[in-house]
Structure 1
């Protein structure tokens, strides 16, 4: 997956994320009395989120790299696409049960407890830390971003992919934290209706890439290194 698509996924996903992370953005404290501190604090918060996403991208990109070494990239790409399709097609009533899962409760409770502590401190460091925690919140679009990071097949590219994902979510989240409700309910509802369509197309792209059809950019041919190629590279590095 091309790393630039991370920004697109984040940008479109941000309209959905406002519903989950919007209350956190609105509740951010202000440190100091200078008006510029409001902007600095919100930027630090978003920078913290981007850092967390970047670390996640590095780790999952590293996982993708291991998959490539074992020649499983095609299967991984198809599997990711199918998982995203399943997520899109699952009825909302089942998705609504996600917060009832034990893992979800443990993560969200940890974030809520530490969020309350950090808000009371009202410092630049606490705002950055809130952003770091916010990046750990379970979110469907973050999972889509992680899938993209894995498909890059490289730790660095995975990190860049998720950093761009975070940057894509920043404009709406930043404006929400500054001026409150940026989007009207009707406009956000219309945009949210398009998100499943975009996610569906992204899933199809993952599946097509895994099918190895030789279509440039959409389904390029995977070239796996042979054992002799790997041995030659090792000898060259000696």
Structure 2
């Protein structure tokens, strides 16, 4: 996928639809990674009775902030990829980059899927990542400390936006994909679609399903793991194809094509 044109091709449209689908599936992971923070927000907003209009508005602001953050980061990574290709005069590098990205994304999604299936829960990769893991912990602590100042007002948008900067196995492959496209517009649209896909479940969790039982979460994660094992074959096969290695893959429309 090269620089964006005036319209979207059928493949690009299918790719955006796939990103929405990945967001819907991957939002179960969001509950595992960011669920504790979302629960903390919800507890600060909880009026002790039925869900209020204020709670709904604040959770909506939170999710808008997340989606906007994903979109802007997608645009930034896409633009950075385009600048690299243009500045270096390496248009052919795009194929190699997309191949490497496809393989990395496929292996990453595969590993996450195996983890979900075997443990029935999200892997806390954030805490284990060097440098970034420590940053995640500091940012999380800062967010919790500032909750009372932000959670009841427009600042809820900022809380949502900051989630785009937290280490996330769902976002990092998407950022790599945006970079590989070499297009700010395609990167923005792709990450926007992903963000929109995550909204329904995260919104519901923050407003109504915060008491989801551990057993139900485990079942959802195991089901997600099985789906991820299948989805991982698509970017992995496409990445290997860039190096002339043919691998069978499910006939699914995926963004890493």
Say if 1:10 and 1:145, in contact at 8 Å, map to a contact too.
no
CA gap of 1:193–1:66, structure 2 versus 1, over 3 A, is: farther
Q: In the alignment, is the contact (CA less than 8 A) between 2:150 and 2:159 conserved in 1?
A: no
Decide which of 195, 199, 203 is 1:174's aligned counterpart.
203
Structure of greater Rg: 1
Equivalence for 1:127:
156
Match of 2:127 among 78, 99, 104: 99
* Equivalent position SS for 1:73: helix
Cα 1:26–1:156, aligned 2, differ >3 Å: closer, same or farther?
Answer: same
Distance 2:231 2:142 in 1: 35
Aligned residue pairs total: 218
After superposition, the C-alpha distances for 1:165-185 in whole angstroms (9 at most, x for unaligned) are 111111111111111336543
Could you tell me how far apart the structure 2 residues matched to 1:204 and 1:67 are? Answer: 28
Q: CA offset at residue 74 of structure 1?
A: 2.2
Report which stretch shifted further, 3-12 or 148-157: 148-157
Matching residue of 2:6 = none
Q: For structure 1, which runs of at least 5 residues remain unmatched after alignment?
A: 223-238
SS at the partner of 2:24?
Answer: helix
**TM-score, normalization: structure 1?**
0.75
Deviation at 1:156, TM superposition (A): 0.9
The answer for the alignment partner of 2:137 in structure 1 is 108
Q: Aligned in 2, Cα 1:74/1:126: closer, same or farther, shift over 3 Å?
A: same
Deviations 1:46-83 (A, max 9, x none): 01111111111101112333466522232222212222
CA distance in 2, matches of 1:135, 1:172: 17
1:81 and 2:102 correspond: yes
| Alignment map for 1:133-212 (pairs within 5 Å) | 133-181=162-210, 183-210=212-239, 211=241
1:58 aligns with 75
Q: CA RMSD in A?
A: 3.4
* Deviation digits for residues 106-152 of structure 1 (CA, Å, limit 9, x no counterpart): 23303421442143444322211111112211111111222332344
TM-score, normalised by the number of residues in structure 2: 0.71
